[in-house]
Amino acid sequence: MLLFVCLCLFSIINAQDQRSAVYNEAEARELLNLAAAAYAENPLPCLNRTLPSGAKWSIFKWTNNTDCDLFGDTCGFYSIVDETNNLITVVFRGTKTTEQLLTEGLDSSEPKVNFYNIGLNYDVTFTGHSLGAALASLAALRTVLENLRNGNQIKMVNFGQPRVGNVDLAMKHDQLLPYSFRVVHSMDIVPHIPACAKNHSVEQDDSSPCNPDNKKKSYHHGVEIWYPNTMNPGDQYIECLGQPTDEDFSCSDKNTFSLNSYQSYIADHRHYFEVEVPSFGETGCNLNDPEGDYVEQGIFG
């Protein structure tokens, strides 16, 4: 009888499935540091500060410039093998120059990450910021599509991700990757490019929701985690599970952007968890120096 009850409970939990994955802010904070470290010439100082000192980890592969797509654009990534927790973490840094990457989607993105044969029992976490976030998303999906891991072995958590494909790609992503979170900081504008098609039957403060019926335009996969204000410990965030699916109009999609506030949208894009991500990474993730040695650069610096 007891066994029966237990099995029952278990299958109820399983049946809830998929979207029962819960956003874990502590994990996201750690991954943000790893994403920041990808901007550094040497990620080690940042990793030393971030990863638990007891764990047995090492950098498995580290490249600055590798072909990331069919256009010869480049990106960088490194991966960490954690033998204590049987975990591989793959961290991407996006190219600084191209915007083509944003529009080409899955087919063109082929990160040559040869980590797969390290141990099939190792789970894999993908992360990145900005264009690195786009690559993390696409690499996670590709890893499942190519049967290198099943979706339940993969986590995808990224920061300030632009849209990477259309609604079909988004739905495929949702179906195959139950643990997937796109963290969005306040008025960060990058998650809103390329633009989605709009559903003009709704208009609120000069903003309209995305239209999932349009397959030609870009559309996000799930799940947005929106911090409407700042990202200090204890600050409010919203798990955006409302309508339209994955483009919840009660989250960042309701923002309207005006040209004269452009700088502040870029600032929000560069700041996650109250650090200036590229610069914080370059200077080794020292929390006493959250702005690092920041000097103003382009949008995807």
Ligand X SMILES: *[C@@H]1O[C@H](CO)[C@@H](O)[C@H](O)[C@H]1NC(C)=O
Catalytic residues, by residue number, are 130, 188, 269
- Minimum distance, C-beta of residue 234 to ligand X, in the bound complex (Å): 30
Among 24, 199, 228, 238, binds ligand X (CB under 6 A): 199
Cβ 235 vs Cβ 227: under 8 Å: yes
Build a one-symbol-per-residue string for 230-249: x at contacts with ligand X by CB under 6 A, - elsewhere: --------------x-----
DSSP codes joined into one string, 224-288: EEEESS--STT---EE---SSTTS-TTTGGG----GGGHHHHHHHHHEETTEEHHHHHHTT--TT
Q: Is residue 216 a contact point for ligand X (CB under 6 A)?
A: no
Stretch in the footprint of ligand X (CB under 6 A) among 7-15, 185-193, 197-205, 287-295: 197-205
> Is the Cβ of residue 37 or residue 141 nearer to ligand X in the bound state?
37
Instruction: Report the residue number, 147 or 201, with the smaller CB distance to ligand X.
Output: 201
Name the residue with tokens 């090492």.
Answer: 58
Beta carbons of 66 and 75 less than 8 angstroms apart: yes
Residue 281 contacts ligand X per CB under 6 A: no
Q: Using alpha carbons, select from 233, 235, 226, 220 the residue that is nearest to residue 255.
A: 226
Shortest gap between Cβ of 231 and ligand X (angstroms)? 26
d(CA 239, CA 23): 8
Q: By CB under 6 A, what part of segment 8-47 binds ligand X?
A: 41, 44-45
Query: Does position 60 bind ligand X by CB under 6 A?
Result: no
Q: How far is the CB of 5 from ligand X (least distance, A)?
A: 42
The per-residue DSSP string of 174-213 comes to HHH-SSEEEEEETT-SGGG-SPPPB-TT--BTTB--B-TT
Out of 14, 64, 150, 204, which residue is the one contacting ligand X (CB under 6 A)?
Answer: 64
For ligand X, give the closer residue by CB, 76 or 151. Answer: 76
Stretch that binds ligand X, among 122-130, 211-219, 222-230, 267-275 (CB under 6 A): 211-219
Rounded CA-CA distance 230/237 in Å is 9
Using rule CB under 6 A, residue 211 touches ligand X: yes
Residue number with CB closer to ligand X (155 or 220): 220
| Cβ-based nearer residue to ligand X, 45 or 301 | 45
For residue 289, count CB atoms less than 10 angstroms from its CB and return exposed for 0-12, middle for 13-18, buried for 19 or more: middle
Other CB atoms within 10 Å distance of the CB of residue 242: 16
The two tokens of residue 205 are 């403060």
229: tokens are 């204000």
Check residue 48 for interaction with ligand X (CB under 6 A): yes
| Binding stretches for ligand X (CB under 6 A) | 41, 44-45, 48, 62-64, 199, 201-202, 211-213, 244
